[in-house]
Amino acid sequence: MTLYPPPAQPQSGGTLRWVLIGIGAGLLSLVLCCALLAFGGWQLFSGLVDETSAMQQVVRDFMDAGRRQDIAAAEALFADAGSVSVSRDDLERLFANRQLFREVEGMSLRSFNIRTDTEGGTAEIAGTLNYTDGGTQPFSARLLKEGDHWRLVRIDFR
């Protein structure tokens, strides 16, 4: 009796199924990575907008304190760090400029630079104050983050 090899069985498509599963898993991974990247980018952008708004609020509060000639409120906006050297006399002289401390309607930032390290965050911002009477005033400020709050280190008007 002669033995012949058994007839070849048709392929069941098992290899194709595994290829399709691999492609599906790869696409799913790609979609998840893109979604996480987009979410992370949104969080970063949102955090930057929040920080910028907080810095602008400190400048607005300083301008409001100057308009009211409230030295104590202005002093509270400055950082506690030893590098801050603003005196009560400096603030009184600055607040004497009534033209500078009119009511501020808004501000636009021209530039900002935020740096964070192990000791905290610092920021340099520059822009223009927009007064309710239509006038404008350029300014620049350096801020220091103490805890959760931004504090002034210096503010200059040109």
Round to whole Å and give the CA distance between 54 and 117: 19
Question: What is the reported pLDDT for 9?
Answer: 61
Question: What is the reported pLDDT for 5?
Answer: 67
Burial of 151 (0-12, 13-18, 19+ CB in 10 A): middle
Question: What is the reported pLDDT for 22?
Answer: 83
- From first to last of the 158 residues of the chain, give the pLDDT tens digit: 567 666 666 555 678 878 888 888 888 888 777 666 766 655 554 556 678 999 999 999 999 999 999 999 999 999 886 556 788 899 999 999 999 999 999 999 999 888 877 667 899 999 999 999 999 999 999 999 988 899 999 999 98
Please give the model's pTM, rounded to 2 decimal places.
0.69
SS3 67: helix
The predicted-structure confidence for 97-122, as pLDDT tens digits, reads as follows: 999 999 999 999 999 888 877 667 89
Tokens in use for 43? 């969080």
CB half-sphere exposure, 8, CA atoms < 13 A: 3
